[in-house]
Amino acid sequence: MAQRERPLSPHLQVYRWQITMTMSILHRVTGCALAVGAFGLAWWLLAIAAGGDHYANFAQCLASPLGKFVLFGFTASLVYHLFNGIRHLLWDAGFGFDIPAIYKSGYTVVALTVIVTAAIWFFALRGGA
C-alpha cells in the first residue's frame, strides 16, 4: 500500500494578521516585561533600604534617556496588561464573545493603554501637580 503524504500545518503566512492575534502576542510579551520589571522594582526597594548613595545611583540610572525609555516601556506594559486582563476577566464571565465585541474591546484596550500611559507620563513629568 502506497503511503500518502500528510498535509502540512498552515503557517503564519497563511493567516491574515488580525488584532486578536496581536493582542494575544502583546499580552504575553507584556507579561514577560512585567516579570523582568519586577527586578527593577526590587532594585529600587534595595536602593531605598541601602541609603542615600545607592538611591542616588538608582535615580541617576532612571533619569538617563535609556532609563526613561525602560520606565516608559514598563509603564505601558503595566497599563496594557491591566486593561487586557480586565478584558479577559469579562470573557471569563461570558461577556463579549461575538466577533464585533472582540474587535471593539481590542481597540478599546489599545486606546485606553495609549491614553492612560500618556496621562501617567504627563503628570509624572509635570511633577504630579
Please enumerate, by residue number, every residue annotated as part of a binding site for heme: 81
Q: Any idea which residue has 542615600 for its cell?
A: 52
Own/partner contacts of 3-6, CB < 8 Å, gap of 24 or more, are none
In the annotated binding site, the residues are 81
Among 60, 31, 27, 30, smallest CA distance to 43 is for 60
